[in-house]
Structure 1
Amino acid sequence: MKLILIPVMAALIGLSACGDDGLADQLTRKEAKDTVRPVLAKRFPGVPLEPATDCVIDNASAVEILQLARAGVTGLGPEETQLVIEIATRPDTVQCLLKDGLAPFLLKKA
């Protein structure tokens, strides 16, 4: 199954340069999110996964999103795990997490 997905992902990655918010961009981001989610769950337990995943993807460069999307097809390695952690700990990502990721979670408990 993964052998079939590799050419498909390669085509999508190539098409993702065609424009933001297009089908290829959406599929690439979805694949990248599928890669990010388990890393966040393991490394940052208790963080609301969907908002945190969105913050990581929103603060990743296009090249980083493509790298994470590729890892979703070829397999998550230490380099991609480190990349997720690096993006998650950037100041802009932390601000996003505080604003969009953790605030709604904290307000529900109050």
Structure 2
Amino acid sequence: MKHLATLALAALMGLSACGDDGLADQLARKEAKDAVRPVLAQRFPGVPLEPATDCVIDNASAGEILKLARAGVTGVGPEETQLVIEIATRKETIECLLKDGLAPFLK
């Protein structure tokens, strides 16, 4: 079943050239979020999960999103875990977390 899901994801990824707001991009981001959430929950306990996940995805390159989307379907390994940590600790991601992720809890 995972093989079929991987094939479907790969087929939709091929359509991603149709635009950033297209179905393929939306699907890739959803699958990537499925890979990011458990890493954030384990490595950054207590961080608001949904806003943090959005910040990581918003600060990932298209190639990184595709890599994470594949992991969202096939499973997160050490390489993808390291990628999430790398993206999460980027200056832009931290700024996003401070602005959008933690601000509502600081009021």
**TM-score when scaled to structure 1?**
0.94
| Alignment of 1:47 onto 2:47 | yes
1:81 paired residue number: 81
Question: SS at 1:57's partner residue?
Answer: helix
Following superposition of structure 1 onto structure 2, how do residues 5-84 of structure 1 map, counting pairs within 5 Å? 5-84=5-84
Please tell me the residue identity of whatever aligns with 2:57. Answer: I
Please tell me the residue identity of whatever aligns with 1:105. Answer: F
Question: SS at 2:63's partner residue?
Answer: helix
Please tell me the residue identity of whatever aligns with 1:52. Answer: A
TM-aligned CA deviation for residue 59 of structure 1: 0.2
CA distance in 2 between partners of 1:77 and 1:17 (Å) = 27
Question: SS at 2:103's partner residue?
Answer: helix
CA distance in 2 between partners of 1:6 and 1:68 (Å) = 12
Runs of 4 or more consecutive aligned structure 1 residues displaced over 4 Å after TM superposition: none
CA distance in 1 between partners of 2:82 and 2:51 (Å) = 20
What percentage of residue pairs aligned between the two structures are identical? 82
Where do 5+ consecutive residues of structure 1 fail to align? none
Query: How well do the aligned residues superpose, as a CA RMSD in angstroms?
Result: 0.7
CA distance in 2 between partners of 1:41 and 1:5 (Å) = 25
Where do 5+ consecutive residues of structure 2 fail to align? none
Question: SS at 1:21's partner residue?
Answer: coil
2:103 paired residue number: 103
Alignment length (residue pairs): 107
TM-aligned CA deviation for residue 96 of structure 1: 0.2
